[in-house]
Amino acid sequence: MVENDKPMNETLKQKMYLLLEDQKGLDPRARLVRAFLVILILLNVLAAIMETMEEISAIYRHIFRVFEYFSVAIFTVEYAARMWVCDEGMGNAGIIGRIKHALRPLMLVDLLAILPFYLPFLLPADLIFLRAIRLMRLLRVLKLGRYSDAIHVFFSVIRLKKEQLAVAGFGLGILLIIAASMMYYFEHLVQPAIFGSIPHSMWWAIITLTTVGYGDAYPVTAMGRVLASIIALLGIGMFALPAGILSAGFVEYGEKKKKNGTSCPHCGAPLAAPDDPDESSHS
């Protein structure tokens, strides 16, 4: 009787928690809920992009509006439900716990997904501000981070290599300042409109270090061209450095996963922790 009564005693809050917040997949219906939310997010982003096309927006404006109301209603219910069940299995009891839960990055992303809809009703603003608020709907794509394992892996690698990436970014900033300062010294007398100050020269340094080279700012003196050639070559190496750091981070993350036995090396599915060698020897 006890085993049969346990599922019956499961409260609505516990069911909602398993659907929304449980990462272990104890409830198979959670996959359907997450799949529905992912599809809804992608459709929202697509609708926000297509709504900027006048020829499409003029014809389907009413459909876009109805779909926006439907999406905001779903996302609002989802946000309220997550706040409701946050004390079920995550230790966020009480008002203080709920406030801390609401300030978590993923919860802030969920709030930004619905906030652009409600802001025009709360704040008086002109039409330009309202258009900017509506474009913030594209932030809903950030909600995919809650449901995508690939995005979780990416941010795990970023955290793993944050020190090396910070050093690379610091070195790039130093190179940017040096390049802009030297180009200002060589070119400001010849081209005062383009290289009139170090901040003006930074535009040239950025487009050169990124190897974009728009052609709207370029040196004309001999020393300036020599410097530009060196800076362009250094820029290739400086931007290849973070790519190498991230590549090494992904390899290291994968090796660590295999070593810990937490995921399958072929499909990436989570595996059970290996048995205690002492217990296996006893058996």
Q: How confident is the model at residue 124 (pLDDT cuts 50, 70, 90)?
A: low
Identify whether residues 70 and 13 lie together within a single domain: yes
Higher pLDDT, 211 or 204: 204
Q: How confident is the model at residue 132 (pLDDT cuts 50, 70, 90)?
A: low
| pLDDT score at 274 | 46
| pLDDT score at 271 | 53
| pLDDT score at 117 | 83
Identify whether residues 166 and 255 lie together within a single domain: yes
- Given a contact cutoff of 8 angstroms between Cβ atoms, the answer to whether 247 and 255 are in contact is no
Distance between CA atoms of residues 257 and 49, nearest Å: 38
- Given a contact cutoff of 8 angstroms between Cβ atoms, the answer to whether 36 and 67 are in contact is no
Asked if pLDDT for residue 26 goes beyond 50, the answer is yes
| pLDDT score at 36 | 87
Q: What are the tens digits of pLDDT across the range 45-94?
A: 888 888 888 888 888 889 988 998 999 899 899 899 888 888 776 666 67
Residue 157 within a domain: no
| pLDDT score at 250 | 87
Q: Give 145: exposed, middle or buried? Use CB within 10 Å, 0-12, 13-18, 19+.
A: middle
Residue 139 within a domain: yes
Identify whether residues 131 and 11 lie together within a single domain: yes
Identify whether residues 95 and 57 lie together within a single domain: yes
Higher pLDDT, 7 or 104: 104
Query: Which residues pair with residue 263 across a beta bridge?
Result: 270
| pLDDT score at 136 | 64
For residue 194, give the 3-state DSSP assignment.
coil
Identify whether residues 123 and 15 lie together within a single domain: yes
Q: What percent of the chain has pLDDT over 70?
A: 75
CA distances from 248 to 23, 150, 191, 244, 276 (A): 28, 16, 43, 6, 31
Asked if pLDDT for residue 171 goes beyond 60, the answer is yes
Asked if pLDDT for residue 282 goes beyond 60, the answer is no
Tokens encoding 156: 């795990």
Q: How confident is the model at residue 223 (pLDDT cuts 50, 70, 90)?
A: very high
Asked if pLDDT for residue 277 goes beyond 60, the answer is no
H helices of the chain, in order, are: 2-8, 12-20, 29-50, 54-89, 94-102, 105-122, 127-135, 144-147, 149-160, 162-187, 198-209, 222-260, 277-282
Phi, psi for 125 (deg, rounded to 5): -155, 165
Asked if pLDDT for residue 174 goes beyond 70, the answer is yes
| pLDDT score at 172 | 87
Distance between CA atoms of residues 105 and 113, nearest Å: 12
Q: What are the tens digits of pLDDT across the range 30-45?
A: 888 888 888 888 888 8
| pLDDT score at 281 | 41
| pLDDT score at 84 | 87
Total tally of structural domains belonging to the chain: 2
Please state the pTM of the whole predicted model. Answer: 0.59
Distance between CA atoms of residues 123 and 97, nearest Å: 29
Residue 230 within a domain: yes
CA 106 to chain CA centroid, nearest Å: 10
Identify whether residues 47 and 168 lie together within a single domain: no
| pLDDT score at 7 | 47
Identify whether residues 94 and 24 lie together within a single domain: yes
| pLDDT score at 267 | 46
Higher pLDDT, 214 or 143: 214
Identify whether residues 79 and 182 lie together within a single domain: no
Count of beta carbons in the 10 Å neighbourhood of residue 243: 10
Give the closest residue to 109 by CA, choosing from 141, 61, 70: 141
Asked if pLDDT for residue 11 goes beyond 90, the answer is no
Interhelix angle 127-135/105-122, rounded to 10 degrees, is 160
Identify whether residues 213 and 242 lie together within a single domain: yes
Residue 182 within a domain: yes
Residue 236 within a domain: yes
Tokens encoding 279: 């217990």
Could you list the residue range(s) of the whole structural domain that residue 48 is in?
2-147
Identify whether residues 134 and 178 lie together within a single domain: no
Residue-averaged pLDDT of the chain: 78
Identify whether residues 143 and 46 lie together within a single domain: yes
Residue 154 within a domain: no
| pLDDT score at 225 | 92
Residue 152 within a domain: no
Identify whether residues 72 and 169 lie together within a single domain: no
Residue 155 within a domain: no
Average pLDDT over residues 200-225: 87
At 133, the amino acid letter reads I
